[in-house]
Amino acid sequence: MRANRSVPASSVIPVLAYADVPAASDWLCEAFGLRERLRIGDHRAQLVYGDGAVILTELRGEPAASAVHVRVEDAAAHHDRARRRGAQIANEPEDYPYGERQYSAVDLGGHRWTFSESIADVDPVAWGATRVGPAETSMRRIEPTIESDRLEESRAFYADVLGLVGGDGLDWIRFFSAPNDPQLQLSVMSLDVAAEIHPAVTIEVDDVDEVHARAVESGAEIVHPLADEPWRVRQFFVKDPNGAVINVMQHL
């Protein structure tokens, strides 16, 4: 599923209506420990709690049954299936400036469901939202790096002895992953290259430019500039407060 900064990452998002959205948001955060992610004027807000989320919307007219917002991979296909199965379509699929393709349907109990497909990653500020919480960047994986002057022996050890998958790479690095979870990865880097940049950990993110901007703004020491590499990644290296070098990268 495509990431979009304009919506929470949760797949199912309840939508609750309130007469005063800002007051409701403040109260929910204070009373229940939610955190305000976005506020859109005075009529809409996004709150998160752990990996869950809820959308607050302005109450208009008489109180109605609560609605549910569900993120899907293909809104058009989902719409066609719902129609075939007799769902009452309230709104046909439509593309919106905040990067979502949405349609609404009413279920057998009269509850409204909105199904939303992320079709672009849109900065909320571009369509008038106010970013309240800190910027969020999805971390795809965290990959430790081991230094070695015996890459071929290391390949045999990690692949043949420990059972990791892979061992391919360039002439100065080898990549491995867990057999049952490709997101669990390990790099083995030659000492000659490690002596220059010494990355302790590689972190793969969805938006490396955003992370780089935050690192620069925080005053962190950039030891390798943000650049597009021939092996189709965009990356930079930064030192953490302990002096360890972190490689932050994004696949292009």
pLDDT in tens, the chain (252 residues): 677 888 888 888 988 888 899 998 888 888 777 889 999 999 999 988 777 898 988 888 766 566 778 888 899 999 998 888 888 899 999 999 989 999 998 876 677 889 899 998 887 878 877 766 655 555 667 788 888 878 888 888 888 888 888 888 777 788 888 876 666 788 887 876 545 666 778 888 888 898 899 899 889 999 999 999 887 889 999 988 878 888 898 887
Return contacts of 155-158, CB within 8 angstroms, 24+ apart. Answer: 155/188, 158/186, 158/188
Domains of the chain: 12-131 (3.10.180.10), 139-251 (3.10.180.10)
pTM of the model: 0.48
- Residue-level pLDDT at 96: 93
- Residue-level pLDDT at 62: 64
- Residue-level pLDDT at 194: 47
